[in-house]
Chains A and B, each alone.
Chain A
């Protein structure tokens, strides 16, 4: 599998490390339901059949965190962008 790093270009997936679902928003730690929100943030994941946006980090390259849109069935990657262009903290 290859992932096209926005900084380094197309590189083998072995250069990357995987984190997972990138649509999770870091919850507000001061919110009244913070504990349940963090519980969901840490433990609950959908097992999608289709495209998922997920975090990878180019550890053996530029060390940038990237958002990869990958089809969970075919591993087809439709989009890669820097993770920080839209922070998850709202």
Chain B
């Protein structure tokens, strides 16, 4: 055990059991999986991506590139979970990844021996030919060998939520700068959200010992938190990563239940927050960086700042005997903390020949050997057993099982780049610091490059006060806590040139120093190209540790400075976010809300088969006992309408109520035909165009009274037409006195059609005399009462081509009306029919619908050319008159029937002349709709063909390459039944 006897923020009274690769271990509440593994001396935790090198824990937080595990099992299995951010819970179950047959013995580790051949762009260069082998052979083999964890193969059983939050100031990070910013703003009364990625507030203060107000930093954390919790205007959010800055909103993910085996009832696994903040203070800290040297990936080599965390926060000594290799003062403090906690420190190897005397003295006092001007250039052991050090012309081997490295710190500038900002190079700290920040965002503390504790506290307070003051709040005098600063000086150092063995830049994607050298030699100059060529920084850690060392090595190879070579910028997300969190509740049946018709419950009672029509769930057909397939049912429903009476719910049509003296004028301008001349009590079919001259929608509009009209639109275009009319009325012609509202939801509409339809409606109308041919002729519209006082509108029109009426009643009366009609029509076996039968009847009548109004057809193409009024202007008129759209050779609307009546037409077929080859050049049109007509007893279709109506009587071929049919069809008029309309007018 490497657990220290005392100290740390773990709760020794709360032990937790967990397994790793099936073996049981123990830890404590407050541990991460990584700290618990280290406490149990588990150093080998995974295998690398390409070479299957043994790997161990490197970091202590989000930056971790190596310690990725599969967490949980079955449907909750989650790959690539960072052990360093996984909060330990009792019963946690983790598996190592990317190894076979076992973590300890991995067959593909042999790849490592071939590393000279596996350099940059190995895959691109090697698997180029034969081309066919890529999909069948190379890709499956590479996928099997590479890749990280396995995703769960079952549906995720947990919920994810989306939520919105609003605040004046969002503070990101709760280290010294974040706490001071939150306190300063909180005291002004402004609404604050303090978001912390970790499960504990405090940031680096949890891992360091530097005193604040002469007391341990944890005292300051506790006092600050207590005050923040007492303020009603402050919201504290732990386990919450702010991962992206979008337009006017921050994206954050709250890990509500990730620290539990299973979410508690009714709680989500994670919650995706959209935080709208007027100002934000980024206090996300900085990350320690690796140094690139031979064997720097051996398990046991870690970041010095991580070692400091394990020692101080988790009470774990990650090694029995540890050496440090650094270019800066901070690593010395980490070494002192380890020594003071009882760990053994073999030596501190510092690349700098001279450092502050005080540090050397402090090391001497602790009995720590300092090797100045030295370099670690090689390591050995499966897990680290020894390191080789070069200093002052001599090499030396040190037996250690741990090495803490530190190449200096990189500020977490990520969020400052999300609106396109580029960080700027700061030579003093050898790091990129925030450049131009997004509006409303400022940076404080280590994230801005200020590493001294006193500077972090001061910047946090200052940026908090500025944000609050900007918003009109009054910030009070700052009473800054006093901090004893630890030394922070540094001298840039990236890469040990004399390295022996593989020296890694990107641990997760196995990119070595040599790969960058090769890329430079092959002519890659831009850091963006380098990145894509070598895959540097493209793994799940997005190069948090590797980008800068990689850039520095490229700069060295090119003989340029780092800022001359390039800048690494960052896009969201800061850390991986589960796709489930973005989807939230919108998955499966809840992907979008289903709209149901007013008669839905009735249709369910009648065992309808439903179909999704846009957002609507509509009855497709109503099977009865004894019917063998849907065709049987549909044929029966169609015959019932044509010979008796049937009804269908058409409430899904868009309905727009229009009122005012200028409605007629507006309609004249949006429809191609004239409406202002329509008499009250009448309805008219209209076609409207888009401004580009193509048909937008069709439908019937009725004039209920002088200044009151109601328009119907197709189901699909209801919203679009509404918006279009509003644009016309508000923007194009605001002078017109017109008011409008969508009433699609307010009115239920039932179409009743068939020779018996008038008889049926007479039984439910309060005044049946108003239904006669004189009072209500074809295309008439009346307002009346039905069912004893229910307000209704009756329109005499029919999509089915029979004597027909559409009855509109308030939506809540729709079901009552349908039930009343079914009961009253029993004597004629009234039939409730569905969308399929409606589609059959409209094709039999040659009515255009969605497949014909496909955005590529003009009014002329559809045979409506003569409907267009020449007495007025209307939207789309000018561009519909373009020569190309008037071309007589444009495919025109026709009907089709198979020459051999037993053959079946299929929509989607293309027309070819007899004897023509099936080539695009010979394509003369296409079939848009097809159905079996029970009335005619054979297949019929609608389509567009060059020459249109002039070709009626000709025979061509309907060729369907997708389904492999090629049949002769006869061109005919599109209306197959009652072309004179005698049935309609009966």
- A residues sitting closer than 8 Å to B (CB atoms) are 1-2, 13, 17, 19, 26-27, 29-30, 34-35, 38-39, 41-43, 55, 57, 59, 63-65, 73-76, 82-84, 87-89
Contacts and interface: CB of A to CB of B under 8 A. Distances in A.
A89 B726 contact: no
Interface stretch (B312-320, B504-512, B871-879): B871-879
Task: Name the residue in A2, A38, A76 with the highest tally of chain B Cβ atoms < 10 Å from its Cβ.
Answer: A38
Contacts of A76: 439
B684 to A, nearest CB: 23
Identify which of B248, B439, B727, B731 gathers the most chain A CB atoms within 10 Å of its CB.
Answer: B731
B878 A75 contact: no
A59 B718 CA distance: 13
The residue in B732, B734, B878 that gathers the most chain A C-beta atoms within 10 A of its C-beta is: B878
Nearest to B735: A87
A59 B248 contact: no
Nearest to B274: A12
Given A38-B879, A39-B879, A1 B247 contact: yes
Contacts of B344: none
Contacts of A39: 879
A69 B420 CA distance: 21
Nearest to B882: A35
Given A13-B247, A41-B691, A30 B731 contact: no
B932 to A, nearest CB: 40
A35 B726 contact: no
A82 B881 CA distance: 33
Top 6 A-B pairs, shortest CB-CB distance: A1-B247, A84-B734, A38-B878, A65-B730, A75-B247, A83-B731
B247 A87 contact: no
Contact of B723 (A17, A38, A84, A87): A17
A26 B879 CA distance: 13
Contact of B691 (A1, A13, A38, A89): A38
B733 interface: yes
A89 B246 CA distance: 36
5 contacts: A1-B246, A30-B873, A64-B730, A65-B731, A87-B731
B726 A63 contact: yes
Contacts of A26: 732
Contact of A42 (B439, B692, B730, B731): B692
B419 interface: yes
A80 to B, nearest CB: 14
A87 B732 CA distance: 6
Most chain A CB within 10 A, of B247, B719, B877, B881, is at B247
Contacts of A75: 247-248
Given A42-B692, A84-B734, 6 more contacts: A42-B691, A42-B879, A55-B727, A65-B727, A83-B731, A88-B731
A2 B248 contact: yes
Nearest to B727: A65
A1 B248 contact: yes
Nearest to A39: B879
Contacts of B419: 74
A2 B439 CA distance: 14
A19 B726 CA distance: 13
B875 to A, nearest CB: 9
Contacts of B246: 1
A19 B732 CA distance: 14
A90 B879 CA distance: 20
Contacts of A57: 723, 726-727
Contacts of A87: 731-735
B732 to A, nearest CB: 6
Given A19-B727, A57-B726, A89 B879 contact: no
Contacts of B969: none
Contacts of A17: 723
Interface in B235-253: 246-249
Contacts of B811: none
A2 B691 CA distance: 30
Chain A CB within 10 A, most for which of B420, B719, B732, B873: B732
A8 B247 CA distance: 20
Contacts of A1: 246-249
B659 to A, nearest CB: 15
B276 interface: yes
B873 A29 contact: yes
A64 B882 CA distance: 33
A41 B879 CA distance: 11
Contact of A29 (B420, B727, B733, B877): B877
A63 B731 CA distance: 12
A10 B421 CA distance: 26
A21 B247 CA distance: 20
Contacts of B249: 1-2
Nearest to A30: B873
Contacts of B730: 64-65, 82-84
A89 B729 CA distance: 12
Contacts of B420: 73
Interface in B850-891: 873, 877-879, 881-882
A43 B882 CA distance: 14
Contact of A59 (B439, B723, B878, B879): B723
B782 to A, nearest CB: 30
A89 B733 CA distance: 7
A76 B419 CA distance: 11
Contacts of B734: 84, 87
